[in-house]
C-alpha cells in the first residue's frame, strides 16, 4: 500500500489546481489586453529561454524523432553508445537536426567504468576515451557533457502501480537495507577514496573540456544516501557539490567556467530537508552564478525514507515554483522530464508520457515567463 499523502503534499496539489483555474477566471472578468496588464513574453524557442528537452539515445528511430518534432521539442540530451568517433557523432547530430532538434548535451559512459570511479589500474584508457568524446563534442559545437560519479549505486527497490494507475519507480530505505543491499566489491570504499578517484578524473578531463569549449555537468547521487552496497557516495548534500566546485576551481581557476551541475530536482526532493540547501536555494546559489547546465525536472511523492516517482503535476514539489525560480535567475539551459512514468500502452520513448510531460512543462514555462518577465 502507498502511504497517504501528507498535508503539505495535498496543499501543494491544491495550490496547483487553483493556479490552473486562475487564467480562466481572470479572462472571464477582465480581458487581459483591455486591462493594460499584457506584457511581451519571450518566445519559447528564444536562445535565452529555458529549453524544453528530452533524454534520448543516438539510436532513436526517425519515426520517434518525427513524433518529438510534432510535439514541439527542439532540444535533446543524447547518450552515445559503443565507442563513438567524430563521424558517428556528426551523423547523429545531422539526423537530429533534420527533424529540427539540436543536441544540447552529450553523454558517453566511459566515465562510469569502475576502474575510473574506484581508482584502479587501467582507468587511464577509459579516461582517454572520454577525453576524445569531449573533444569531438567541442568540434561539433555541442556545448555540454553530462556525467555522474556513484559506483555501486542502487536506483530503485521496486516498480509499482501508483494510486493514479501509472507505473513508476519506487525506493524504500527499509527495503534496500533489508533485502537488496549487499557489498558489491571485494572491499568497502570510503568517501575520501571516492573523492581521490573523482579528483584524478577531473584533473585529466577538465583541461580537455576547457580547450574544447565544452562544459561538464555533474549529476548528484540518486538516491541521496551516504553509503550503498559498501561504497560511500559523496554527492548527496550541498557540501558535496561545494567540494566538487572547489576541486574544479583548483584545476581551472576561479569560477571554473567549464564545470557546473546537472541539477536533478527529483534527487534533491528525495532528500527533503537533509540536503543542506533546498531546491530553491540551490537554484538561487548555483543557478544565480550560471553554474546549472541542465535540469532534471522530476517530482516525487515524498522525501526519503520512501518515495515513488510521479508525473510533474502530482508529487509533493510545486513544479511551477521550480520553473519560476529558474526563470528568476534567467536560466537558459535545458529542462528534461526525467524518468517518465509509464502510462498504459507506452513503450520505447514512451510517447504518451513524454507528450504529457512536455505539454505540462511548456505551460509552466509560458506562465513563469508571463509572471517573471
Does residue 347 fall inside a structural domain? yes
pLDDT of residue 32: 39
What's the rounded Cα separation, in Å, for the pair 185 and 229? 8
Contacts of 144 (CB under 8 A, 6+ apart): 104, 105, 106, 214, 215, 216, 217, 293, 294, 333
| Residue 216 pLDDT level (bands cut at 50, 70, 90) | very high
- CB 57, CB 78: distance < 8 Å: yes
At 116-173, the pLDDT tens digits run 999 999 999 999 999 999 999 999 999 999 999 999 999 999 999 999 999 999 999 9
Provide the domain limits for residue 286: 44-372
Q: ∠226-228-229 over CA atoms, to 5°? A: 155
pTM of the entire structure?
0.90
At 240-259, the pLDDT tens digits run 999 999 999 999 999 999 99
DSSP secondary structure string for all residues of 87-156: HHHHHHHHHHHTTT-EEEEEE-GGGG-HHHHTT-TTHHHHHHHHHHHHHHHHHTT--EEEE---TT----
Does residue 17 fall inside a structural domain? no
What's the rounded Cα separation, in Å, for the pair 327 and 361? 13
Angle between helix axes 191-212 and 238-252 (nearest 10 degrees) is 50
Q: How many CA atoms lie within 13 A of 61 on its CB side?
A: 6
Q: Biggest alpha carbon distance in the chain?
A: 71
Contacts of 165 (CB under 8 A, 6+ apart): 344
Cβ atoms within 10 Å, residue 247: 19
Does residue 224 fall inside a structural domain? yes
Least confident of 4-8, 112-116, 117-121, 316-320: 4-8
Residue 151 in grid coordinates: 559506483
Distances (CA, A) of 212 to 84, 322, 370: 17, 32, 37
What's the rounded Cα separation, in Å, for the pair 97 and 268? 33
What's the rounded Cα separation, in Å, for the pair 61 and 92? 11
Q: Which residues pair with 144 in a beta bridge?
A: 105, 215
What's the rounded Cα separation, in Å, for the pair 178 and 8? 29
Nearest one of 94, 106, 97, 201 to 144, comparing CA atoms: 106
Does residue 353 fall inside a structural domain? yes
CATH label of the domain that carries residue 309:
3.20.20.150
Does residue 4 fall inside a structural domain? no
Cβ atoms within 10 Å, residue 249: 13
Does 23 score more than 50 pLDDT?
A: no
Does residue 231 fall inside a structural domain? yes
- CB 263, CB 295: distance < 8 Å: yes
Domain count, the chain: 1
At 73-108, the pLDDT tens digits run 999 999 999 999 999 999 999 999 999 999 999 999
Does residue 184 fall inside a structural domain? yes
| Percent of all residues in the chain with a pLDDT value above 70, rounded to a whole number | 90
Nearest one of 278, 368, 325, 318 to 11, comparing CA atoms: 318
At 138-148, the pLDDT tens digits run 999 999 999 99
Q: How far does the chain reach from its first CA to its final CA, in angstroms?
A: 43
Distances (CA, A) of 46 to 43, 52, 260, 331: 5, 11, 22, 12
Q: Which residues pair with 217 in a beta bridge?
A: 146, 260
- CB 336, CB 295: distance < 8 Å: yes
Does residue 64 fall inside a structural domain? yes
What's the rounded Cα separation, in Å, for the pair 364 and 356? 13
Amino acid at each position: 500500500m502507498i502511504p497517504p499523502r501528507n498535508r503539505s503534499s495535498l496543499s501543494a496539489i491544491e495550490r496547483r489546481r487553483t493556479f490552473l483555474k486562475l487564467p480562466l477566471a481572470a479572462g472571464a472578468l477582465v480581458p487581459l489586453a483591455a486591462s493594460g496588464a499584457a506584457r511581451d513574453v519571450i518566445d519559447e524557442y528564444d536562445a535565452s529561454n529555458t529549453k524544453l528537452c528530452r533524454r534520448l539515445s543516438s539510436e532513436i528511430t526517425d519515426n520517434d524523432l518525427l513524433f518529438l518534432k510534432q510535439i514541439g521539442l527542439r532540444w535533446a540530451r543524447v547518450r552515445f553508445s559503443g565507442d563513438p568517433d567524430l563521424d558517428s557523432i556528426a551523423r547523429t547530430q545531422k539526423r537530429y537536426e533534420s527533424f529540427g532538434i539540436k543536441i544540447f548535451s552529450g553523454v558517453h559512459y566511459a566515465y562510469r567504468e569502475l576502474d575510473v570511479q574506484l581508482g584502479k589500474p587501467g582507468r587511464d584508457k577509459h579516461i582517454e576515451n572520454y577525453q576524445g568524446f569531449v573533444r569531438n563534442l567541442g568540434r561539433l559545437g555541442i556545448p555540454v557533457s553530462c556525467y555522474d560519479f556513484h559506483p555501486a549505486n542502487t536506483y530503485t527497490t521496486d516498480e509499482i502501480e501508483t494510486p493514479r494507475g501509472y507505473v513508476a519507480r519506487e525506493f524504500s530505505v527499509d527495503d534496500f537495507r533489508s533485502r537488496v543491499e549487499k557489498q558489491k566489491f571485494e572491499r568497502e570504499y570510503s568517501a575520501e577514496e571516492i573523492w581521490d578517484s573523482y579528483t584524478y578524473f577531473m584533473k585529466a578531463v577538465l583541461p580537455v573540456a576547457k580547450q574544447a569549449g565544452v562544459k561538464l555537468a555533474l549529476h548528484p547521487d540518486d538516491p541521496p544516501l551516504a553509503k550503498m552496497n559498501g561504497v560511500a557516495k559523496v554527492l548527496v548534500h550541498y557540501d558535496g557539490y561545494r567540494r566538487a566546485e572547489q576541486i574544479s576551481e583548483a584545476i581551472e581557476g576561479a569560477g571554473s567556467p567549464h564545470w557546473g551541475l546537472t541539477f536533478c530536482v527529483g534527487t534533491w526532493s528525495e532528500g527533503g530537508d537533509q540536503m543542506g540547501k533546498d531546491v530553491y536555494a540551490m537554484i538561487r546559489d548555483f543557478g544565480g552564478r550560471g553554474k546549472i547546465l541542465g535540469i532534471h525536472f522530476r517530482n516525487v511523492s515524498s522525501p526519503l525514507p520512501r518515495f515513488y516517482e510521479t508525473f510533474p503535476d502530482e508529487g509533493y514539489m510545486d513544479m511551477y515554483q521550480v520553473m519560476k525560480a529558474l526563470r528568476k535567475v534567467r536560466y537558459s539551459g535545458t529542462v528534461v522530464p526525467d524518468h517518465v512514468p509509464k502510462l498504459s500502452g507506452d513503450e520505447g520513448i514512451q510517447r504518451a508520457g513524454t507528450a504529457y510531460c512536455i505539454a505540462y512543462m511548456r505551460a509552466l514555462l509560458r506562465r513563469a515567463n508571463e509572471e517573471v518577465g
